[in-house]
Amino acid sequence: MAHQREKYKITPGIYVMFILTVFCCLPGFYNGFIHGELSPIIGVLFYGIAIFAAAFMLSWAAEVVQIDISESLAVAILALLAVLPEYAVDFVFTWDAPYSAESHHYAVANMTGANRLLVGLGWPFILFLYVFFKRKKEIVLNKIQHVELFYLLLASLYSITIPLKNELNLIDTVILVTLFGMYTRRAAQMETEEPEMVGPPKFVANMENLPRRIFTALMFLFSGAVIFYVAEPFTESMIHLGEAYNFDKFLLVQWVAPIASESPEFIIAATWTMRGAANSAIKALISSKVNQWTLLIGTIPLVYAISGGAIVPFELDTLQHNEILLTAAQSLFAVLILFNLRFSKLEGTVLLVLFLAQMIFESIRWEMIIVYFVLAVVFIIINRSHIIPSAKFALNFRKK
């Protein structure tokens, strides 16, 4: 139903900011598109600036599109586009995996590293940024965020079965991609509510319906294309730069590459947090985790089968088994602490400390798995009264 929308006052600076943002994308975008050769340090600079600018444009598009669709669906779209770098990097490793033992090894390392980085560093970072800038004690989530939390809980519980059978197969693809589809369908059912625009989104919001929708779609497409074409060369530049300083390649693939590939969503979340919208920021990071822990991990066996030309499972070695189990345990614990719709400084500190411990001390993987699962059980007990109502809301069970 159409409703009267606020008309914003536009200053010349808003147009200048938008145009400069587009121009900041172009050098890295062009070089990534033509597969140009750059030195590692210049590559990091050019591609990093392009990703930074594209992330801002993506966040603006996500704000404007909330005039027409729900915030949950807008954030889900934003999260999917923001993690395109992670998809691009992991798909490259997975595509080469049938022919390269090294790529087979790195495909899981990159995916699990990105997921643990997002939760263990990204979520606490947004919390502490909010606490510092807004002088708050915690982030209070909205009821609608039960949608992301419930589907992340389902994905986390299912992911525990993957290391138990020591493989990723096409059954996993069907189940995990179905979960992602159910999540996006429920997000699309949420009510729309126009947000308060800040900066360049104002001039787009002032447009009539059809021009605004076309322009918003173009913003999504352009920023998504920039991120897609810049992702792989940016990650490669980061890895080559690390190799020049004799860093271990496995650690580069597991931690440095995900820092590069996860940067768009971190930038978006940090920007929203400093504007006071920590709720939307943490929602975006949770949504990113949902689509990575459903769509990304679910499509690995599909890409592997297509590349290899045969329907065979993606088998896990001992290290990959442990990496996925550790990531599943961390994911389960993290989502359970949020089921009361509050994210406190203590909880953020525990998430961060545990993440740093398992990243720095690689020999304690099994000890960390046990700690995460024990804490998950504790928080199931603490937040048990919230789980059933969350499930009913997420599945859209209406009271009769």
**145 DSSP assignment:** G
pLDDT along the chain (400 residues), means of 10: 61 87 90 85 85 81 78 74 73 84 80 88 92 85 88 94 92 93 83 65 82 88 86 77 74 73 78 83 88 89 89 87 93 94 93 92 88 95 87 72
Q: Are 295 and 315 in contact (CB under 8 A)?
A: no
Contact (CB, 8 A) for 263 and 142: no
CATH (residue range 12-394)? 1.20.1420.30
Residue type, 143: K
* Radius of gyration for the chain, computed over Cα atoms and rounded to the nearest angstrom: 21
Sign of CA dihedral 274, 190, 400, 152: negative
**Quick one: pLDDT at residue 354?**
95
Q: What is the DSSP string of 242-307?
A: HHHTT--HHHIIIIIHHHHHTHHHHHHHHHHHHTT-HHHHHHHHHHHHHHIIIIIHHHHHHHHHHH
Query: Residue 127 class from Cβ within 10 Å (0-12 exposed, 13-18 middle, 19+ buried)?
Result: buried
Considering Cα of 329, then 174, then 314, then 109, what sign does the dihedral take?
negative
Identify the pLDDT of residue 2.
Answer: 41
Q: Quote the CA–CA distance of 274 and 262 in Å, as a whole number.
A: 19
Task: Establish how many alpha carbons lie within 13 A of residue 336's alpha carbon, considering only the half-sphere containing its beta carbon.
Answer: 22
| Res 192: pLDDT | 59
Tell me the domain boundaries of the chain: 12-394
Please tell me the predicted confidence (pLDDT) of residue 279: 85
Backbone conformation region of residue 396, classed left if phi is above 0, alpha if psi is from -120 to 50, else beta: left
* Terminal-residue alpha carbon distance, the chain: 26
pLDDT score for 195: 60
Task: Count CB neighbours of 317 within 10 A.
Answer: 13
- Rounded Cα distance, 2 and 6, in Å: 13
Q: Which pLDDT score, from 0 to 100, does residue 3 have? A: 45
Phi and psi dihedrals of 162, rounded to 5? -65, -55
Q: What is the pLDDT of residue 1?
A: 38
Which among 382, 1, 29, 381 has a CA at the least distance from the CA of 191? 1
